[in-house]
Structure 1
């Protein structure tokens, strides 16, 4: 909204929605207050505003969700959150245990969202950056609890297994050899036979006593999760484990107390307490290893949070006091000693030093800081003491924004995840159906007595099915990939951008500020028509005084360095891609490109040889027109960025076509392109026309990435399949570009594309394993190979395979932590 008519238009649009009692729009706060009838779908209000030509900016909150175990849980929590009136979108990340919710501001409270999650059977708390340490402690406590329960379950499972095997020996004389192992088994079996005699009841009773605490204490989390799912008429991973182990446990309990029932039916009353206990032990081990690996996937976030200092040294009237960093306010003066982290973003007002910014920008070389230099909170002051004036604190610092961006990226969903979500929604009910069908088929058609093998194969199906691997395949890879990117100074906006980046086949590079250093310097001044060099430079600097263009800044710097008095222009107008128009000392002055000269009908007579020489060297001429006559030209040169040549070579090795698109003239553009080895060049292209070049390439079937500074390149960045902003970590581009490089090293663009390819490759490997595992092993567990002479899968082996499946997926994702850029930055 820009004016009162916008306000009226939005109010009319809202009032037309059936069920709206009143609507009031505030232009200053950019907020609409709407009174509605109960039951109105609030998304209709959003649609009404958008139909009127405006946008509703959603609010966002991140919740920590506890109690999730598999992809079915993810689907259930997302459904619960999306049902809350006012919620626009909800994305749940199983690996991070978070839910990111977009909602209409003022319509939903965090309490409403927490209540929805809790009603679905899970726990929820708002996640703030300051709570990372507490979250880490919770994970440590959960790991200790899992390990304790696993050790107990494993010890009991081993004991029950040994007792069961020895009892089988005494009953069936299974060992007939005379080797040392046979003699050892016989020696162990003898006291078992003496203690329990030929009647198996006492031994079975002991096994029951041993297995019961494993079933209901060590395995309590599975029952709790299954009950929560049942209350909401659904099923999840816990349901499969609880039903499968309970079936083996209850079958064995019945065989212990009512063996006659089994004998009457022609079934040997064997017990399987060792099976249920071993299954629980193995699954607890898998959960422990999986959680430990999942904690490692969020190491990048913890590392970034760890950069934030706890305290700051504030200077008041020359006196130093140590205060919590939360107490620092914008404008405060802070003392930073050598070896200390800079508490918040700021500007150096006194002192000089070198600052290590590698953990934030990815730049390995320390940055020199002098009065006037900007510093980033969380970076390390290496040499001299600095006095810094705070310019951003709390959530407004670069580091806080990076953490938020990384967390949002890690919580986002890749398009490929949609297929997984659809499968997960029906996976557990389908497995329960397959297990039931397996039991019935083997009971009816299997060789008699069929009850025991039917039960064991149904249990094996329930246990071997692994929705966990499906749920973890994509988010763990995205978490590790985006986290590794953040460590390198590559900020990836979301999982969709990550997935699109791996498909790129063409890279468009801007020249000024991207391929070149972006800090041009004046190398020559050519006056004509009676002006001298100093006067020409003064007039040009005055006209450019209000411009932020790098060439304008360079002209102003040179004029000030020569001690020229540069007045404020009386009028000023910026014309993108052309130049500026201003009134200086009562004279109308135009400063810009030769395109500007052509528009006003001024030729460059008298500058020909000088211009040809400058352009052949890759230098840029800025023309000055005073009251309709050519006043001369200011020639500037910009150096190629360190690493730009390496970056272009890396793009080629990645199979990318490299194209330079610039507003500069043909000669200058081709001189720089030749130096870098770029063959295809679009020169003299206006900012709005850069987007047209992008669309032209896309029409040829290319997938185009645009690399720019996020300012003049904004239209092209928006039109590209992937927009990559370079060296704008403190700018708005961090919030809008698909990928942002906090530092200015172009080699990190190649690293970002290589990282996206490695991440997508890992996701595909994970999904392939998760799908193939379930597709192949569920039929094997059901006994599909038995009629053909193949093996039947023991439920204990099924539990081992299931635990291995989840752990292998997470471990494969963790390999991305070792990702190395294709060319060192």
Structure 2
């Protein structure tokens, strides 16, 4: 039995280092499938018994975070809001800085400076000190350790100077207060930017929060969509959002499904049609029965995918994480060495030695490294989602960016999946109406595009009705059936020697009954997509279970040179593995028979109208069946990876340049604190640029 996944809402995480503290704590407890998303304020894990949960929550809170029921309902006290802490610090820091330029002599008095600085220092100790202490206790020292040590050193040094009346050269109260104020300013920017990067998920969550009109004993009761149960009858009027997934019982409506498909043209719905929660009724009204509610709805699953994707780390981040983890102890060591060398070897005074050491501490911000990847991934995923592309993992982005091959299934992927019967050839004097009846009875039980088209194509033609006892679909082969009289039927391709235009065979009791010729249309945008892929130096490949002559015909029409036809699901796996050995491989497919290949490929991509199995097997779902979204997906992935690399370069380069400058004494601690906050803003700003950036 699978272990239960525990989900906790944790507030108080403000950077990747916070997330790593919790991750390390949970790892030490032997928990599995750990996922900590600092931006989404979520922690998930499995393993451990239910009795352990109170202890785990207590230990997470022991690190300085808070476990809450619902972050949206959590009211942050006035004094705990980061914006208010910053304003309080800024008001008191201003006179400490102004004493350098204003002729007010009382501001030069060390006791006055101490009185003004003390509240800021206490605030800094409570805000950064608690987090610093808990992070050291948890074995993952975070950036707050540097801020706390730096500001405390400046304050204590100044306090000793004031008590012993050592004069102005020992007054650094403004340094202590400014460090705290500027870092709080950086935290304010960070909080706002992170909330912008997570806006895609928040927008989707808002869509879920609607009311539903429940039909009870002929009357209407308004309830929250959360309280709807499967089997409930709901009334949805013009202008309303469909509250949950379900089926239409009565009425007609035009429903805008653009939030799922990106397609703005409304879809007409009538009795028995499926409707999806969160879509909008633009015209008409319907009564529906709820089939999927809560976490089972399409929208809830999309939100879950987005959250998982935001938390999944690309390999490129692992380097950043490793550096961030050893960074804080390394910086403290560099600061100590700087102090010793400046004081003893450089024969500088205590004042200069201490200032240089403090400058090293406050300039070294691993936060920029921690933010480099998650912010870019969040914005990239959000932009993809707005274009109807659901990516199931941040690590997917990196695999896609290096793709060398894109392998396409043919039916329903490169072709429309709308088939027409060109010809039915009856064998051995069989009755054509009886053949049509057998085909309809069997294919009614399948979701395959060919099956649906056959049923639709035959619905107006005369046929003999057949009652079936059982029908079974065989992956990549066709359908087996048995009627109430015990006759056995097979309809499909299999490995049959179907010749010429005919591509399906119907057997009755292992005797050939008919040959059927079926054709489908190529999607109008397919040729353009193949041309675009070739421009991007990606090799397109066709991999299908269909006959070689048909696959070749489609490949020639749209410009694909590499063709693998007549492949069963297990044979498709072998082909995918061969391509994977040569380079990163993306597989795009839509049917149950593609599911193993989608899982095997470096990245599996499925269409929204695919079978549920294909959607679950793929790491990317294209909600818009237009193939142009494949190019958009590749472009977004490439630009997201480029943004991550730019962010990491900036974060590394900044620290490599800034630390030696600070150690050599060319950087005032206040300038260092400002530069540190600025580095976070640059990284986040570069990530946000991805929202509007022109993709090429």
Give 1:383's match in structure 2, choosing from 283, 288, 295. 283
Cα deviation for residue 125 of structure 1 reads 3.6
2:428 equivalent among 521, 529, 533: 529
Partner residue of 1:486? 385
Question: Structure 2 CA distance, aligned partners of 1:319 and 1:122?
Answer: 47
Structure 2: distance between partners of 1:355 and 1:132: 32
Seen in structure 2, the aligned counterparts of structure 1 residues 625 and 676 have a Cα distance that, compared at 3 Å, is: same
Given candidates 354, 362, 380, the residue that maps to 1:455 is 354
Total equivalences in the alignment: 695
Name the residue aligned to 2:516. 634
**Residues 337-348 of structure 1 mapped to structure 2, 5 A cutoff:** 337-348=237-248
**Hey, what does 1:750 align to over in structure 2?**
631
- Give the equivalent residue in structure 2 for 1:662: 544
| Aligned 8 A contact 2:605 2:622 in 1 | yes
Structure 1 residues 359 and 589: alpha-carbon distance in aligned structure 2, compared to 1, 3 A threshold: closer
1:152 matched to which residue of 2?
A: 88
User: Any residues of structure 2 matched to 1:636-785 within 5 Å, and which?
Assistant: 636-699=518-581, 701-728=582-609, 731-783=612-664
What residue number does 1:22 align with? none
Shift in CA distance, 529/278, structure 1 to aligned 2, threshold 3 Å: same
SS of the counterpart of 1:566? Answer: coil
- Please show how residues 554-565 of structure 1 align to structure 2 within 5 Å: 554-565=453-464
Q: Deviations over 1:22-44 (max 9, x none)?
A: xxxxxxxxx4xxxxxxxxxxxxx
Task: Give the aligned partner of residue 18 of structure 2.
Answer: 73
Distance change in 2, residues 1:142/1:238 (3 Å): farther
Distance 1:486 1:501 in 2: 16
**Deviation, structure 1 residue 152:** 3.1
Query: CA contact under 8 A between 1:94 and 1:472: conserved in structure 2?
Result: no
Instruction: Check whether the contact 1:588–1:626 (CA below 8 A) recurs between aligned residues.
Output: yes
Counterpart for residue 94 of structure 1: 38
Aligned twin of 1:238: 144
Change (3 A) 1:229 1:582: closer
Task: Using the TM superposition, give the Cα deviation of residue 649 of structure 1 relative to its aligned residue in structure 2, in angstroms.
Answer: 3.3
- 1: CA distance between counterparts of 2:639 and 2:602? 19
Equivalent residue in structure 1 for 2:214, among 314, 323, 326:
314
1:358 aligns with 2:258: yes
Change (3 A) 1:572 1:75: closer
Would the alpha carbon gap of residues 553 and 359 (structure 1) be closer, same or farther in structure 2, given more than 3 Å must change? closer
Aligned with residue 292 of structure 1, among 184, 189, 192: 192
1:473–1:661: structure 2 CA closer, same or farther, 3 Å change rule? Answer: same
Deviations 1:637-660 (A, max 9, x none): 222235333433332333211111
Alpha-carbon separation, structure 1, partners of 2:695 and 2:266: 20
CA, structure 1 residues 109+377, in 2 after alignment: closer, same or farther (shift >3 Å)?
Answer: farther
CA distance in structure 2 between the aligned counterparts of 1:540 and 1:374, rounded to whole angstroms: 25
> Residue 214 of structure 2 contacts residue 233 of structure 2 at CA under 8 Å; is this kept in 1?
yes
Structure 1: any 5+ residue segments left out of the alignment? 1-30, 32-56, 167-187, 263-267, 605-610, 787-791
SS of the counterpart of 2:278? Answer: coil
Summarize the alignment of residues 412-491 of structure 1 with structure 2, pairs less than 5 Å apart: 412-448=312-348, 450-491=349-390
What is the CA–CA distance in structure 2 between the aligned matches of 1:688 and 1:594, rounded to whole Å? 13
Change in Cα spacing, 1:142 to 1:475, as seen in structure 2 (3 Å) is farther
Kindly tell me: are residues 386 and 70 of structure 1, through their superposed partners in 2, closer, same or farther at Cα, counting changes over 3 Å? Answer: closer
CA distance in 1: counterparts of 2:5 and 2:328, whole angstroms: 31
1:141-187 alpha-carbon deviations (Å, 9 max, x no partner): 78993223323322332322221x24xxxxxxxxxxxxxxxxxxxxx
Which position in structure 2 is the counterpart of 1:250?
156
The match for 1:162 is: 98
1:53-94 residue CA offsets vs partner (Å, 9 max, x unmatched): xxxx34323333334455443332212111225x12323233
The match for 1:103 is: 47
- The question of whether the paired residues in 1 share the 8 Å contact of 2:365 and 2:655 is answered with yes
Deviation at residue 365 of structure 1 after TM alignment: 2.6
Mapped partners of 1:148, 1:808: distance in 2: 23
Cross-structure match for 2:686: 812
Are the equivalent residues in 1 in contact too, given 2:5–2:45 (CA < 8 A)? yes
Secondary structure of the corresponding residue to residue 91 of structure 1? strand
Which structure 2 residue ranges, 5 or more long, are not aligned?
none
8 Å contact 1:414–1:496 — kept in the other structure? yes
Counterpart residue number, 1:281: 181
Alpha-carbon distance in structure 2 between the residues aligned to 1:729 and 1:112: 44
Are the counterparts in 2 of residues 410 and 479 from structure 1 also a CA contact under 8 Å? yes
RMSD: 2.7
* Deviation for aligned residue 1:313: 1.0
Superposed displacement of residue 570, structure 1: 5.1
Shift of 1:671: 2.3
Separation in 2 of the partners of 1:485 and 1:543?
39
Q: 1:151 to 1:741 in 2, by over 3 A?
A: same
How far is 1:462 from its partner? 0.7
- Structure 1's 330 and 89: CA in aligned 2 closer, same or farther, altered over 3 A? closer
Q: Deviations over 1:427-484 (max 9, x none)?
A: 1111111111111111112244x21110110110111010111211111222222222
| 1:711 Cα deviation after fit | 1.2
Name the structure 2 match of 1:394: 294
Deviation of the 1:677 alpha carbon: 2.6
Deviation at 1:496, TM superposition (A): 2.1
2:67 corresponds to 1:120: no
State the structure with more CA Rg.
1
Q: 1:212 aligns with which of 101, 118, 123?
A: 118
What is the Cα deviation at residue 549 of structure 1?
A: 3.2
Query: What is the CA deviation profile of residues 315-346 of structure 1, one whole-angstrom value per residue up to 9, with x for unaligned ones?
Result: 23433222222332212221111111001101
Distance in 2, matches of 1:811 and 1:487, equals 20
